[in-house]
Structure 1
Amino acid sequence: MTQRLRIIRAIFAFLFLAMFVTGMLGPVLAHAKEPKAPHVLVMTVDGIINPVKTKFISRAIDQAQRDSAAVLIIRLDTPGGLLGATRGIVTLLLESQVPVAVFVSPRGARAGSAGAFITVAANFAVMAPGSNIGAASPISSTGEDIDDTLASKVENDAAALIRSIAQTRGRNQDGLEQTVRTAASYSAQEALAENLVDFIADDLNDLITMLDGLIADTSSGSVVLETEGLGVRSFEKNILEHFLEFISDPNVSFLLLAVGGLGIVVEMFNPGLVAPAVVGVICLLLAFLALGNLPINWAGVVFVILASVLIVLEVVVAGFGILGVGAIVSLIVGGLLLFTQFGDTSPTMPPIAVSKWMVYGAGGATALALVYVVRQAHLSRMQGPEDKSFILIGSLGTVTGELNPKGIVLVGNETWTAVSGDDSVIAVGETVEVRSIDGLVLTVFRRNNQDIVDNS
């Protein structure tokens, strides 16, 4: 059996290693087959701007440079994102040796807040008909205005950044500054008229045609674009980036944090279970990895973990529902506070929060589970201990605490209080037989004495 188990383990290890190597070498081999000829590299960036997006764009620029791409086109549709990640992307675009065009598309897309910074930082800022750009003024993570002093500090910093970008790219500084100062937004036609963007393109093919013959100022010098007749290649996120994007969803990160905290606390109160600890550690690590891509409020984290502690305490120490109520309240408060910012806020970050349906749903599910547990505990107390007299009478046990005449005996795997039936002293280690049970006290006889009584 052991040999068979080792073979199975070896097979699984080999399969895992083979999949790992294939996953690592597959993209490399596929990339090696593609000729390094001029082409147009196209990528799509949508959703919240975070460090994952920064890494994604950085990889795209590197590949465009390695593969001699004529231009990198970023199709953008975003409500905004983290200021740190936005600054990182702006730096990448300004320092790129490959011409970059940011295309706010498809129709109806937006370059809100952080998206405005990213769009105007590209060599060519392009919008699709029906798209819009702007609204980069500082707000709190709940969508409300922040106090005047803090707003002035954050606003001035963001305004200075977007003016600097506008100066570098030759765009309308005053118009772009208004997106920060007054949360101004512009339609595609208005942005073109105000010299915020370079032109409007109906679709990707139209954009590629319009780029042909234009001059781009890159970090390595001026480049004349020759895009006519070039092939188009797509640049996609890798598996890790897709996974990080998934767990960076506020609702997913909230669930990971709650489950992770619960798993760790369960293991602390029940050492040796192993499984809760493993699940808990993995979920917590994933939660903190996700929270690194989001504006986190640590008070919310504390409340969620406190809820996990109170849930376990309710089950272990039987808090008669009081601890359970505290757990539900802590879980709901933690979920609502998790992404609420009271201090310095990002001017490029749109309002984000855990869905109230998710928060209240988790609280409701916790309440139902605790009601069931408390009810079962109450019924167990009402029923009292299981009647074991018919099982114990006639059973043999070993004295673990001297009977003089009262002491402790071990019967089966249970320790009982016992008294000597003939009031004699029975030493530790002697064998006794159970004759009767009164509540939680056994009446026992030394095995030899009982034999004599039976014979008489």
Structure 2
Amino acid sequence: MTQRLRLARLSLVFVFLGMLITGILGPVIARAQEPDFPHALVITVDGIINNVKEGFIARAIDKAEENGAALLIIQLDTPGGLLSSTREIVELLLESPVPIAVFVSPRGARAGSAGTFITAAGNFAVMAPGSNIGAASPISAAGEDLDDTLASKVESDAAALIRSIAQTRGRNQDKLEETVWTAASYSAQEALSDNVVDLIADDLEDLLAKLDGLIAETSIGTVVLETKGLELFQLEKNILEHFLEFISDPNVSFILLTVGGLGIVVELFNPGLIAPGVVGVICLLLTFLALGNLPVNWAGVVFVILAMVLTVLEVVVAGFGILGVGAIVSLVVGGLILFTQFGDVSPTMPSIEVSKWVISSTGGVVSLALVYIVGTAYQSRRQGPPEKTSALAGMQGMVTGELAPRGIVLVGNETWTAISEDDSAISIGEPVEVRSVEGLILTVFRQSDPEK
């Protein structure tokens, strides 16, 4: 035992030393890797636009300004995202002290919904051949059109934003507004012809060559670009940003919510186990962190947690399938509506949902577990624990869940399902005595009853 304790302590010492060295040397190494020569900073933004992408773009702008980058290039490929994050990113681009080129690439990429706003907000809007831009009209999270009143309200707000961007950057206001009002989309060549974008470029080198000598208006004044032959420096997401992107996946969020809810409920019904509670709290905290990047429907969260409560109740009070069926139904409903939006719907957010495979797989696992538990409980009810039957008869206990006439009692440091002998209600805290045992069900009576 002493040897194991020493090894554990030594391991902790090495872990803390490693963390200390990393904390000290990490920034030094990172700074040593930063370019000290004229360069263009390049970042890749793909997938759903959310708070993580917003933070990444903000960090890139700060890094470009700090290192004296001549240009920031945002390689964009997105179906859309959160309107709040889109607005923040647009503000960052319009107020940037560094010239920014938003490059919809590679070939086949798209700047859908939120991507249209972001592309239009750059100093230079550039597209690769074969890419497309547009379709910023609001739809529901299920992919359906909104009702006329709601659509008009949301569309007007989105149209005002993209109109303001077009006026600021000198782009075709009417064509950009059509992406909102009529969900118009444009190919790279169509967007160039209609002055929706400024350039078409085959790759980054071609982009630098075509930007050379152009003028960009930034927050600190007018800048004439000298980009021909400029060195490119790629800025990657850090570990935290990668982790936040991972847990912000709808499927991962659903699994974390399910595991977290189950862990908390198990701990509440079995105080002192500790491990389920710790795992549950961590998973729920990660879930809420992830849901901040997604258009969550809180009714779905309630359904998922209710499913976990019913699952544990099925195990604890032996509902013989009824509670289990309720748990499965609640889990499936919760998964289906977790990201379904009602009311105001973001015009920049594409349809988001938990995979039907993930919902069915999770529901299947819970169903199999409940079938096994219910089957075991039923078999035990029929056979009963013969070694305890004689021992329990005559033992005294206390009511922990009101008998009306069925409830829960504590006998011999064990929790049992019980019914009162005369079908009378017995309140929590009252002393009782076991009359008989049938399977896993005790028949009890009030200990103070003078007739017994």
Q: CA deviation at 1:202?
A: 0.6
- Residue aligned with 2:387, SS: coil
Matches within 5 A, 1:348-387: 348-387=348-387
What amino acid maps onto 1:107 in structure 2?
R
| Unmatched segments (≥5 aa) in structure 2 | 398-411, 415-434, 438-452
- Residue aligned with 1:143, SS: coil
Deviations 1:266-310 (A, max 9, x none): 000000000000000000000010000000101000000000000
Distance 1:220 1:413, change over 3 A: closer
Matches within 5 A, 1:35-74: 35-74=35-74
Contact 1:328-1:366 within 8 A present in 2 as well? yes
How far apart in 2 are the matches of 1:388 and 1:53? 61
Runs ≥4 residues deviating over 4 A = none
Equivalent residue, structure 2, for 1:205:
205
State yes or no: 1:108 paired with 2:108.
Answer: yes
What amino acid maps onto 1:256 in structure 2?
L
- Residue aligned with 1:387, SS: helix
Distance 1:217 1:247, change over 3 A: same
Contact 1:103-1:126 within 8 A present in 2 as well? yes
What amino acid maps onto 2:341 in structure 1?
Q
How far apart in 1 are the matches of 2:185 and 2:13? 55
Contact 1:38-1:67 within 8 A present in 2 as well? no
State yes or no: 1:87 paired with 2:98.
Answer: no
Equivalent residue, structure 1, for 2:187:
187
Q: CA deviation at 1:15?
A: 1.4
- Residue aligned with 2:130, SS: coil
Contact 1:171-1:196 within 8 A present in 2 as well? yes
RMSD: 2.3
Distance 1:92 1:28, change over 3 A: farther
Contact 2:35-2:233 within 8 A present in 1 as well? no
How far apart in 2 are the matches of 1:413 and 1:15? 42
How far apart in 1 are the matches of 2:388 and 2:156? 78
Deviations 1:310-357 (A, max 9, x none): 000000000010000000000000000100001111000000000111
Contact 2:45-2:77 within 8 A present in 1 as well? yes
Deviations 1:233-288 (A, max 9, x none): 10000000000000000000000001100000000000000000000000000001
Equivalent residue, structure 1, for 2:9:
9
Distance 1:413 1:160, change over 3 A: closer
Q: CA deviation at 1:29?
A: 2.4
Equivalent residues, number: 401
Equivalent residue, structure 1, for 2:305:
305
| Unmatched segments (≥5 aa) in structure 1 | 393-398, 402-411, 415-437, 441-456
| Greater Rg over alpha carbons, structure | 1
How far apart in 2 are the matches of 1:339 and 1:217? 40
Contact 2:208-2:229 within 8 A present in 1 as well? no
What amino acid maps onto 1:11 in structure 2?
S
Matches within 5 A, 1:34-433: 34-387=34-387
Contact 1:102-1:124 within 8 A present in 2 as well? yes
- Residue aligned with 2:111, SS: strand
Distance 1:33 1:204, change over 3 A: closer
What amino acid maps onto 2:355 in structure 1?
S
Q: CA deviation at 1:32?
A: 3.3
What amino acid maps onto 1:295 in structure 2?
P
How far apart in 1 are the matches of 2:64 and 2:18? 29
What amino acid maps onto 1:336 in structure 2?
L
Distance 1:387 1:130, change over 3 A: same
The TM-score with structure 2 as length reference comes to 0.85
- Percent identical pairs in the alignment equals 75
